[in-house]
Amino acid sequence: MKINQTLFGKTKNGEEAYLYTLTNQNGMEVSFTNYGACIVSIIVPDAKGEKADVALGFKNIEGYEENEPGFGAFIGRYANRISDGKIEINGKVYELEKNDGENTLHGGVKGYNNFLYETEVFRDEDMISIEFSRLSPHMEQGFPGNLDITVTYSLTQTNELMIEYHAVSDKDTVINLTNHCYFNLAGHNSGTILDHNLMIKANKFTPTREDLIPTGEIWDVEGTPMDFRTLKRIGQDINADYEPLRIADGYDHNYVLDINGTDVEKVAELVEENSQRVMEVFTDLPGMQLYTANMLTPVKNSKDDAIYKKQDAICFETQFFPNSCNTSNFSSSLLKAGQPFESVTIYKFSTK
């Protein structure tokens, strides 16, 4: 296990950002930057041992300063959407930044992926970890509470990329942390993911309004294009005449995961037949946003000058349900003062 640190570039403010590359004995390499605590690349072998970067991203710091798609981004204080850009805690209403029409998306205009983080490296016999941390001050993005946050990325000898979230607030607040990595198991610049096969361990999902805010209902996937309980080609039903798919122009929906909520359990599997690469997703969170990059358009500073297009990648955003802070029948995202928040998500790579 080894780690390499290089200068990634300077931000517009003249701050130095670094690139950290973790490598295991299987040849898997994962790179991160302390600017935004973002995942920059994930290089894994296929069934023939040939390596490819399976995470969409940028080749320099300029790309991550813009990063409109959120490639590899650490998302907070509240991932996904909050209706009307407001929350109520202990009888007090907090007005948030509206950056998605009348709603708040991924925390606001300046998300957690737009800050520099303190960095620390930890080594173990069969794992190497890099920890990014900062203080999100009281009323940043409009949220109450000074929030000490840490996201730790670990690479194991068994080709697992583990993400551990830890946070503590000095006031009651809401929290929803996730990562917004865009995956394509054929390679980041290989085009559509509609031929990938996907399984999601979920019997239900949360339908949305036209602005992608959940209605508060929970619908069964059975008999619908939303059903991924057994491996199915992503493109099989994506263009079906089904209202939730029409609203989102593809898959952009929160799945109600069929897990006990206390253990880290397998919730999804992604398979690319040509390379025979497999990615499994594990989490202890109640929901996962499946997003087929329906709004993705070409960006500047992409890796290898790739021209990324709609549905060239897929995201698995483990989370509390969107707008759960305003929806009483959803799992609560309230974080009490002094109470630590901890969660784990794992992306495990292998071949068939």
Is residue 286, in this structure, part of any structural domain at all? no
Tokens 């809401």 belong to which residue? Answer: 174
CA–CA separation, 107 and 101 (whole Å)? 14
Is residue 161, in this structure, part of any structural domain at all? yes
The one-letter code for the residue type at 163 is: I
What is the average pLDDT across 235-250? 98
Per-residue model confidence (pLDDT) at position 132 = 98
Per-residue model confidence (pLDDT) at position 262 = 86
Is residue 140, in this structure, part of any structural domain at all? yes
Is residue 254, in this structure, part of any structural domain at all? no
Strand partners, 324: none
Token output for 277: 């690469």
Token output for 212: 């992608």
CA–CA separation, 199 and 176 (whole Å)? 24
Q: How many CA atoms lie within 13 A of 172 on its CB side?
A: 12
Average predicted confidence (pLDDT) for the chain: 97
Per-residue model confidence (pLDDT) at position 136 = 98
Is residue 238, in this structure, part of any structural domain at all? no
Is the whole-model pTM more than 0.95?
yes
Is 317 among the residues known to form the active site? yes
CB 57 within 8 A of CB 71: yes
Per-residue model confidence (pLDDT) at position 125 = 85
Strand partners, 166: 150, 342
- Report the percent of the chain where pLDDT is more than 90: 99
CA–CA separation, 352 and 339 (whole Å)? 42
Report pLDDT digits (tens) over 308-328.
Answer: 999 999 999 999 999 999 999
- Which of 131, 160, 272, 317 is flagged as catalytic? 317
CA dist 272 to 189, 202, 293, Å?
A: 14, 21, 17
Is 253 among the residues known to form the active site? no
CB 180 within 8 A of CB 151: no
CATH number of the domain that 66 lies in? 2.70.98.10
- Phi, psi torsion values for 64, nearest 5 degrees: -75, -20
Is residue 230, in this structure, part of any structural domain at all? no
Is residue 263, in this structure, part of any structural domain at all? no
Report pLDDT digits (tens) over 146-201.
Answer: 999 999 999 999 999 999 999 999 999 999 999 999 999 999 999 999 999 999 99
- Which of 106, 180, 196, 253 is flagged as catalytic? 180
What is the average pLDDT across 114-127? 95
End-to-end CA distance of the chain: 24
Token output for 141: 């993005």
CB 17 within 8 A of CB 34: yes
Report pLDDT digits (tens) over 85-113.
Answer: 999 999 999 999 999 999 999 999 999 99
CA–CA separation, 122 and 111 (whole Å)? 26
Burial of 40 (0-12, 13-18, 19+ CB in 10 A): buried
Is residue 272, in this structure, part of any structural domain at all? no
Per-residue model confidence (pLDDT) at position 119 = 98
Report pLDDT digits (tens) over 18-65.
Answer: 999 999 999 999 999 999 999 999 999 999 999 999 999 999 999 999
DSSP 37: T
Domain of 327, in residue numbers: 2-191+296-351
What is the average pLDDT across 245-259? 98
CA–CA separation, 100 and 106 (whole Å)? 9
Return the H-helix or E-strand segment holding 63: helix 61-66
CA dist 281 to 142, 183, 264, Å?
A: 32, 12, 10
Residues whose CB falls within 8 Å of the CB of residue 91, separated by 6 or more in sequence, listed in order: none
Q: Domain count of the chain?
A: 1
Token output for 138: 């009281």
